[in-house]
């Protein structure tokens, strides 16, 4: 949470923070990842057998080490649009018997060499949890139930025994399951109306929770501010004692998924665009409340959270999905990612999970080559947030000038505040307070009065020579610089930068 007061040009900006003003817990799943059978994300990304950089399973060790550095808590798989024609049985059992299939989402081919067991084994090596998306396009409920049985049940039944036959005795206990992906989209194989989707999702949810009541089910939303979201939430967030065996403390639906990507060729519009996601989160939270109120869901049922399971900076025109979506990120994009992460911290009350799309090669902060790994500009803010913005959100008050030019999307203007300084703060379980300040101004630094900060202060800065600079294999133009500040006087936030301040109150 951040309160904002606009000041006149030339007035002294200020940021006030009080460690006792704790707002809400930051869910560790905010720093989730996403791997899809798209471009080089799986093959040549997390899985590259025969490469000297890979282990005995074919898993890229440098990718594993990078994700472990981020402490990624959960990774979504296998899509994305890919999942709408994916049949999980194609990807289990002896590899030489797995069928090669035509892949329709990204117009490629799928060998099925990497499937359920490989992914879950990779998750165990990384130290992360799996989040599976179910095929709502060409898939069936029987197929979905079989997948849950294969992954989670210890019973003497067909698909649990198939798992044992394939070499895994104990269940994987996959907790998170998505009820389809972007089923509202015209690009989607199996596109549905909101009415058809809501009916199918609710029916599937009842059956899936009968198979395994412990799983967490995620409803397929749109942007969070659409009629699809409003309708689907109203129809699916209901109190269903029959479907839950009389349990008054559980729900068929546990989270609602929303997706937003931002991008602009103009720096300030690009950096500020994630503010649209902040309003989307607030609207989605209100729609969840409205559904609970109208459907008389008792307070004993935990409030459904928001799963922002695809977010990032992505311009499909410059990085087409059909060509692998290998974005080359600039400093401007790194600042946009910083604002994205600030949004999630400020809105931690509502965010149960967020998954950057994607974890490697495809619109990713990490890019692999045959001989190594490149950490793009967007890696560095993600690393700082993953390391330090844990624990609980702390309220801040920002007084500064405001950008009042055009925005992308247009509706930001007049709907969302657009201060030049975008701020969030968090206090971790050891009592260390971290404050992230993004100065999105391309040419102006701000000297700011900071209230509530006690030195000594560790200072981490992400910036570069200009907003267009990029990292390459030969040169890293953007990284993290570390300095100290005694906490006295005003602090200057450089132009086009992310600054993180850390101190013990």
From residue 239, alpha-carbon distances to 120, 199, 351 in Å are 33, 15, 22
For 432-484, the pLDDT digits (tens) are: 999 999 999 999 999 999 999 988 999 999 999 999 999 999 899 999 999 99
Q: Is the preceding peptide bond at 162 cis, omega within 30 degrees of 0?
A: no
Q: Please classify residue 213 by burial: count the beta carbons closer than 10 Å to its beta carbon, then call 0-12 exposed, 13-18 middle and 19+ buried.
A: exposed
Catalytic residues: 182, 310
Q: Is the preceding peptide bond at 358 cis, omega within 30 degrees of 0?
A: yes
SS3 344: helix
Place of tokens 């998170």: 176
* Mean pLDDT estimate for the chain: 96
* Model confidence band, residue 246 (pLDDT cutoffs 50, 70, 90): confident
DSSP state of 225: S
Contacts of 372 (CB under 8 A, 6+ apart): 53, 62, 473
- Which residue segments constitute the domains of the chain, with CATH numbers given? 2-503 (3.20.20.80)
Cross-strand partners of 459? 483, 501
Tally Cβ neighbours within 10 Å of residue 188: 18
CA 397 to chain CA centroid, nearest Å: 26
Structure pTM?
Answer: 0.97
Task: Say how many Å lie between the first and final Cα of the chain, rounded.
Answer: 19
SS3 281: helix
User: Which H/E stretch holds residue 133?
Assistant: strand 129-133
Place of tokens 């199996």: 190
Place of tokens 């600079």: 469
For 176-203, the pLDDT digits (tens) are: 999 999 999 999 999 999 999 999 999 9
Q: Is the preceding peptide bond at 222 cis, omega within 30 degrees of 0?
A: no
* Model confidence band, residue 166 (pLDDT cutoffs 50, 70, 90): very high
Instruction: Say whether pLDDT at 245 is over 90.
Output: no
CA proximity to 214, closest of 150, 148, 158: 148
Contact between residue 365 and residue 382 where contact means Cβ atoms under 8 Å apart: yes
Instruction: Say whether pLDDT at 85 is over 80.
Output: yes
Of 92-96, 105-109, 141-145, 308-312, minimum mean pLDDT range: 105-109
Determine the Cα–Cα distance for residues 422 and 499; give it in Å rounded to an integer.
10
Instruction: Say whether pLDDT at 105 is over 90.
Output: no
DSSP secondary structure string for all residues of 52-75: TTB-TTSBBHHHHHHHHHHT--EE
What is the total residue count of the chain?
Answer: 505
Contact between residue 279 and residue 415 where contact means Cβ atoms under 8 Å apart: yes
Determine the Cα–Cα distance for residues 319 and 313; give it in Å rounded to an integer.
11
Of 11-15, 31-35, 156-160, 472-476, minimum mean pLDDT range: 472-476
């Amino acid at each position: 949470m951040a309160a904002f007061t606009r000041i006149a040009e030339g007035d002294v900006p200020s940021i006030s923070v009080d460690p006792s003003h704790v707002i809400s817990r930051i869910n560790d799943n905010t720093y989730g990842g996403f791997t899809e059978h798209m471009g080089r994300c799986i093959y040549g990304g997390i899985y590259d057998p025969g490469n000297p950089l890979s282990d005995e399973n074919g898993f890229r060790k440098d990718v594993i080490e990078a994700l472990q550095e981020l402490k990624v808590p959960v990774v979504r798989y296998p899509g994305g649009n890919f999942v709408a024609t994916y049949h999980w049985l194609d990807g289990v059992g002896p590899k030489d018997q797995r069928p090669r299939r035509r892949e329709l989402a990204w117009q490629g081919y799928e060998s099925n060499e990497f499937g359920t067991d490989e992914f879950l084994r990779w998750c165990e090596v990384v130290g992360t949890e799996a989040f599976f998306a179910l095929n709502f396009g060409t898939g069936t409920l029987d197929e979905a139930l079989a997948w849950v049985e294969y992954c989670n049940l210890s019973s003497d039944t067909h698909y649990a025994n198939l798992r044992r036959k394939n070499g895994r005795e104990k269940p994987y206990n996959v907790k998170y399951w998505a009820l389809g992906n972007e089923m509202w989209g015209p690009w989607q194989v199996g596109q549905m109306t909101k009415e058809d989707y809501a009916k199918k999702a609710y029916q599937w949810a009842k059956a899936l929770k009968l198979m395994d009541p412990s799983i967490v089910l995620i409803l397929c939303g749109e942007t969070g501010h659409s009629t699809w979201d409003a309708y689907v939430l109203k129809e699916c967030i209901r109190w269903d004692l029959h479907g839950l065996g009389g349990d008054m403390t559980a729900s068929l639906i546990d989270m609602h998924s929303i997706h937003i990507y931002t991008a602009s060729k103009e720096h300030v519009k690009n950096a500020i665009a994630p503010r649209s996601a902040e309003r989307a989160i607030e609207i989605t939270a209100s729609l969840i409340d409205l559904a609970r109120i109208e459907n008389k869901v008792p307070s004993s049922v935990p409030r459904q959270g928001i799963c922002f399971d695809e977010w990032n900076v992505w311009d499909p025109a410059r990085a087409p999905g059909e060509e692998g979506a290998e974005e080359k990120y600039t400093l401007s994009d790194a600042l946009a990612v910083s604002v994205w992460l600030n949004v999630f911290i400020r809105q931690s009350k509502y965010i149960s999970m967020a998954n950057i799309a994607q974890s490697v090669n495809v619109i990713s902060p990490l890019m692999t080559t045959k001989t190594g790994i490149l950490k793009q500009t967007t890696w560095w803010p993600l690393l700082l947030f993953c390391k330090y913005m844990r624990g609980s959100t702390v309220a801040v008050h920002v007084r500064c000038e405001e950008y009042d030019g055009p925005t992308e999307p247009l509706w930001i203007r007049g709907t969302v505040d657009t201060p030049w300084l975008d701020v969030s703060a968090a206090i971790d379980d050891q009592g260390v307070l971290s404050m992230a300040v993004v100065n999105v101004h391309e040419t102006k630094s701000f000297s700011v009065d900071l209230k509530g900060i006690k030195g000594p202060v560790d200072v981490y800065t992400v910036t570069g020579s200009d907003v267009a600079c990029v990292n390459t294999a030969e040169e890293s133009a953007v990284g993290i610089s570390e300095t100290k500040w005694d906490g006295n006087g005003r602090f200057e936030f450089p132009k086009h930068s992310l600054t993180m301040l850390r101190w013990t109150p």
